[in-house]
Structure 1
């Protein structure tokens, strides 16, 4: 188990350290992290999710019980955080959306996948793919809508009817590459369409840089800052690393998932916050310090919580 956790955590720490050293040595500026975040959100991550969806067996995508458990676990923790952020911490809707993303978006591709591959085998990647579909179809579009609704620069929105405002922001969210590109991959997979290698190869190359670039940008963002453990970060880490896997386990029992599928959903739930959530905070210029602290400390503590979950489900 120590070897498994080391294999999962060391690449994250190493690449974030490179980003931090880049800022420390003056090779890049802390402000450059915003540019890297744009590349990740607009290009690399959408194409990474697209290729993952495209290469998934359509029959596995149609496992509705498994998908329902992931929806309940992921979106349940999202809405729980949204309520806490709005009515306990009294944040505005834009900040609440980013905090909810930090608490509900697991780092499935870069933290959860290696653990599942060792624990379960190739079949373990199914949960990562379907989980990414859930975040692409539900969580990320909702976050974009809430961020746009809370953006104070859009003064023209003030006179619009709330339903019309939601529709306008929904249409804008759907046009966002991180939404429509992964959904396109799902539709192509369900239709049995395979892209020619000449096209899929460069798309896959772009997608592969998402993890490394996100981690590098986060490390650069940490330069000059000390992560702080306060009420905000403690709440975020507790929801992400403890409450979310609890929701996954309860939903899995309710839907009667097999032992292997239960292992997947619990491990995914215990996975620390995704680096992409920090990129959203950086891109929207809100909740940056708390988001980055929650992700960094949560990732470090994730070694303990993930190890505990592996012990329990095994």
Structure 2
């Protein structure tokens, strides 16, 4: 079991350290992280989510209780964290939205997948795939919309036309590749469309860059950043590492999910914050320091919580 945990943690730590060292020895600069963030958010991650969706059998996506359980855990955490950011820490909408994303977006593909596969076998990937569809259909579009609304409000244009601003934000979310590509993959899966091998190989080539590039960029971001453990970071850790798996467990009870699928959902909820959340914060130039600190500590803490959950279930 220790080997299972190390298989999930060591690659993450290794790639982050490479990014940190590249700045330390002068090969790259701290500001270069923004270029890599664009690559991840605009290209690599959307195609990774598309690939996961299009390769998933539609039969596996028909488990409504399991999907609802993951939706409650992911989006329930998002709404709670958004409320904490707005009403407890008094952040503006843009900042509170980034805090919600940091708290609710688990690193399912690059931290959770190796652990779930090692514990549950190929069946373990179902939680990753369904979870990524939930984030693609609900969480990421909502983040883009709220960020857009926050941008308009920050301009200080008096009483903006809320419907117009909301419509523009929705339109921007719809045309964003991180939204429409995964949804397209899901539609193709339900329509039983099999893409030609060369097309899937081409998609896979860029999709594989998502995990390593985002972790490497996180290493760039970490260099020169003073380690912080403030009230925001502590609240984020409590919400992400403890509240989210608890919501997953509640969802399993409410929607009748039992056995291995219930265990998968709880373990998925305990997965640390995704590095992609830091990429969003970097691209929006909002909440970057606290997002980076949360991801760093959440990853370390995630090893402990994942180990305890695996030991409890097995």
TM-score (norm: length of structure 1): 0.97
Tell me the secondary structure at the aligned position of residue 151 of structure 1. helix
Q: 2:120 matched to which residue of 1?
A: 120
Q: Which residue of 2 aligns with 1:187?
A: 187
Asked if 1:29 corresponds to 2:29, the answer is yes
Instruction: Call closer, same or farther: CA 1:200–1:156 in 2, change over 3 Å.
Output: farther
Moved more, 223-232 or 265-274: 223-232
- The ranges of structure 1 where at least 4 consecutive aligned residues each deviate by more than 3 angstroms after the TM superposition are 152-160
Secondary structure, in 3 states, of the residue corresponding to 2:30? coil
The CA RMSD measured in Å over matched residues stands at 1.3
Tell me if the contact between 2:152 and 2:165 (Cα under 8 Å) persists in the aligned partners.
no
How far the C-alpha of 1:171 sits from its partner, in A, is 1.2
| Distance 1:153-1:307 versus aligned 2 partners, 3 A rule | same
Equivalent pair of 1:113/1:128 in contact (CA under 8 Å)? yes
By how many angstroms is 1:155 displaced?
4.3
The answer for unaligned runs of 5 or more in structure 1 is none
Residue matched to 2:170? 170
The count of aligned residue pairs is 314
Deviation of 1:312 (Å)? 2.2
Q: Which residue of 1 aligns with 2:288?
A: 288
User: Paired residue for 1:107?
Assistant: 107
The aligned counterpart of 1:220 is 220
Distance (Å, rounded) in 2 between the aligned partners of 1:152 and 1:228? 30
Distance 1:138 1:52 in 2: 17
Distance 1:178 1:235, change over 3 A: same
Query: Once the two structures are superposed, what CA deviation does each residue of 1:133-186 show, in whole Å capped at 9, x if it has no partner?
Result: 000000000001111111159849755432332122111111001000111000
Q: Deviations over 1:232-288 (max 9, x none)?
A: 111101100000000000110111112110011001000000000000000000000
Gaps of 5+ in 2: none
Q: Distance in 2 between matches of 1:158 and 1:306?
A: 48
Which secondary structure does the structure 2 equivalent of 1:227 belong to?
Answer: coil
- Counterpart CA distance in 2 for 1:153 and 1:168 is 13
